[in-house]
Structures are given as structure tokens and as C-alpha cells.
Amino acid sequence: MSIISNCTADAINDAAAALIKGDLVAFPTETVYGLGADATNKAAIGKIYNVKGRPTDHPLIVHISSLAKLDKWARDIPEYALNLARAFWPGPMTLILPRTDLAKNFITGGQDNVGVRVPSHTIALSLLKEFENQGGLGIAAPSANRFGAVSPTTAKAVEIELVEFLSVDDQILDGGPCLVGVESTIIDCSQNKPSILRPGAISKEMIEDALDVSIGLNTPIFKGTQIKVPGSLESHYTPNAKVFLTGSPTVGDGFLALNSFTTPLGAVRVAAPKTNEEYAQVLYEAFRLADLKGLKRVFVIPPTGDGIAVAINDRLIKSAFEK
């Protein structure tokens, strides 16, 4: 595995060629780092599942370079979904739509719907465009972490997480820390009304404003049903440390809160974000830092309000869930 820290045009060409050849390329997006593979190549997709240790019936998001490519992967696209795409792509939003024949069972986990996203990070977009120049149709990319663990928001975190599972020809593109920090908003567009399956930086209010309708936020727990959405399992995004959303830390425990809260005596501060946006940005690195320091427990004061706070609380609740 090689880490490419200077993502020149030549480096992007090489990375796209590696994907075409069936290798894995981890790359930055504005949300979190993704572990990419050619979305039409069954063997390459198989490598993603092995490297992540993820059950094969969990679907992957297909990344494309622009809305113009959406109908390769999705059909019967409702007008409201096109409006969402026009409003928020490129950006941190994934649309779930009825699939075309191109989206095979190895991408959709056997479901008739496919998840598609156009990311806004420059490196992700350059890679997608070059991959399409070289004949590619879409890059499947889950977050570049082991199944159930915290998503990586830096190239270093990807390396630490996956180094022992990647092959010599695989690559990690370093694009610096991710600006959003939590995964994309997932919107189910397979029904006559949109509904949010996973909250993210594109908030319920932003979607309602763009569409001029009120919508459901229904991050359902799909336990026991056909649909497998790892981010919707009760326990996910977990560090090794045990996460507490109530109670106070004692000496040696980790502490995470907005910087308006002072650190309790003896606690180890793992981050002190100034705003909710910054809270989302540093959340996963704060959890990683807690693990690096070998902390057994982290006490968190969750952010309040709407917008990105809803996404942060969604991840916090899952990270605190008793396994």
C-alpha cells in the first residue's frame, strides 16, 4: 500500500488506473475518507468487504462525478430527487433510488435500490472525472474503516485502521482533514416522498427549504428487516473506549464537549470545538485520540439544536449503545 500525499494530476491518473485495474484507492471526501473500488468490478468490490470486515449484504454507495451520470445507475428518478441533486450536489448527500441493471447485487446487497452521491472534495471529484475518462462508470466507496468502527477523517487514520488489510498495489490519497467530519445525509427517494435515513450536514431544514415540503426524519432501526443499513444498527461508530452521554468523568476519564464547558478536574479533554460544525469535524478524531491514550471511558456533552447537531447526536447515540 502506498500513501500519496502530493495529489498531482499524474498521481490522480495513476490512482484512476489502479481503480480500473481492480485495486483499492482510499480517497478524501468532504465528509469522511472512502475506500474506493470500481463499482462494476465484482472482484474489486469483494476486496472492499474483506478489508472492512463488513457483511456482504450491506450495500455500498456509488460515487459519480456529476448529476449527468445519475441515470446510468438509477431509474424512475422522481422530480424531487432531481431537485435535491440540483440543490446539494456536489456535496454531502446520498440519494437512494431504484437501480438500473448496472447496479448489481454485489453493490446493493441484493436490494432493488442503489445509493448514489456526487462528493464535493476536489480530490474526490478529480479522481471521479479521471476514472470516467479512463472508461470507469462509478466508484463504490464505504467509509474507510473496519466494520462498526469510527470513520476516518484523515489519511493517517485510514492508514492506522487498514494498513494490515490493504495490498501492496492499493493506495491512500491524502487530502488533509475532512471539512464536514460526519458521513453524508442519506435520503430515501424510492417512495413518493423523501425521508432521511441517516442525518448529515444537509439537514432536514435545508431539504425542506429546497423542496418546499415537510419531510420525515426517520433514521429507522432496520433490525430484523430486509434492509441492511450499518449506520442504522443500534451500535456503530464505536471507539474502544466506552462512551457516556450522561454522568460526569472522574480522574483519568476522557471528556468531550463544546469549549464553553470547562474540563472537570482530572478529566482528559479529547476536543474542545467552538461550534457545532467544528464539533462534527473533530468528533471521530476525538474518539481516536481517546483510544490512542488508552482511555477506558469518554464522557460527552452532546451539542443541542438542529442542523448538524442532529447528525452528531445520531452518531453519539450509536457510539454509546451497549453492545
Is residue 141 at the binding interface for ligand TXA, with CB under 6 A as the rule?
Answer: yes
Number of H helices, E strands in the chain: 10, 15
As measured in angstroms, the least distance from the Cβ of 291 to ligand TXA is: 19
Nearer to ligand TXA, 182 or 267 (CB): 182
Q: Contact with ligand TXA (CB under 6 A): which of 25, 44, 173, 229?
A: 229
Nearer to Mg ion, 52 or 69 (CB): 52
Please give the full DSSP string across 138-157, using - where no structure is assigned: -EE--BSS-TTSPPP-SHHH
SS (H, E, C) the chain: CEEECCCCHHHHHHHHHHHHHCCCEEECCCCCCEEEEECCCHHHHHHHHHHHCCCCCCCCEEECCCHHHHHHHECCCCHHHHHHHHHHCCCCEEEEEEECCCCCHHHHCCCCEEEEECCCCHHHHHHHHHHHHCCCCCEECCECCCCCCCCCCCHHHHHHHHCCCCCCCCEEECCCCCCCCCCCEEEECCCCCCEEEECCCCCHHHHHHHHCCCCEECCCCCCCCCCCCHHHCCCCCCCCCEEECCCCCCCCCEEECCCCCCCCCCCEEEECCCCHHHHHHHHHHHHHHHHHCCCCEEEECCCCCCCHHHHHHHHHHHHHCCC
Residue nearest to Mg ion (CB): 143
As measured in angstroms, the least distance from the Cβ of 213 to Mg ion is: 29
Nearer to Mg ion, 161 or 174 (CB): 161
Is residue 115 at the binding interface for ligand TXA, with CB under 6 A as the rule?
Answer: yes
With CB under 6 A as the rule, give the number of residues binding ligand TXA: 28
Q: Contact with ligand TXA (CB under 6 A): which of 231, 249, 254, 273?
A: 231
Nearer to ligand TXA, 131 or 255 (CB): 131
Is residue 281 at the binding interface for ligand TXA, with CB under 6 A as the rule?
Answer: no
As measured in angstroms, the least distance from the Cβ of 249 to ligand TXA is: 30
Is residue 194 at the binding interface for ligand TXA, with CB under 6 A as the rule?
Answer: no
As measured in angstroms, the least distance from the Cβ of 270 to ligand TXA is: 22
Tell me the window of 12-20, 155-163, 229-237, 315-323 that interacts with ligand TXA (CB under 6 A). Answer: 229-237
What's the angle, vertex CA 6, arms to CA 132 and CA 200, rounded to 5?
65
Is residue 31 at the binding interface for Mg ion, with CB under 5 A as the rule?
Answer: no
Nearer to ligand TXA, 29 or 203 (CB): 29
The three cell numbers locating residue 261: 464547558
Per CB under 6 A, contacts with ligand TXA among 4-63 are: 29, 31-32, 34, 58-61
As measured in angstroms, the least distance from the Cβ of 14 to Mg ion is: 26
Site string for Mg ion, 128-147 (x = CB under 5 A): ---------------x----
Residue 293 backbone dihedrals phi, psi, to 5 degrees: -80, -5
DSSP character at residue 135: T
Tell me the window of 113-121, 167-175, 264-272, 278-286 that interacts with ligand TXA (CB under 6 A). Answer: 113-121
As measured in angstroms, the least distance from the Cβ of 62 to ligand TXA is: 8
> In the complex, which residues of this chain contact ligand TXA (CB under 6 A)?
29, 31-32, 34, 58-61, 94, 96, 108, 111, 113-115, 117, 119, 141-143, 183-184, 186, 227-231
> In the complex, which residues of this chain contact Mg ion (CB under 5 A)?
143
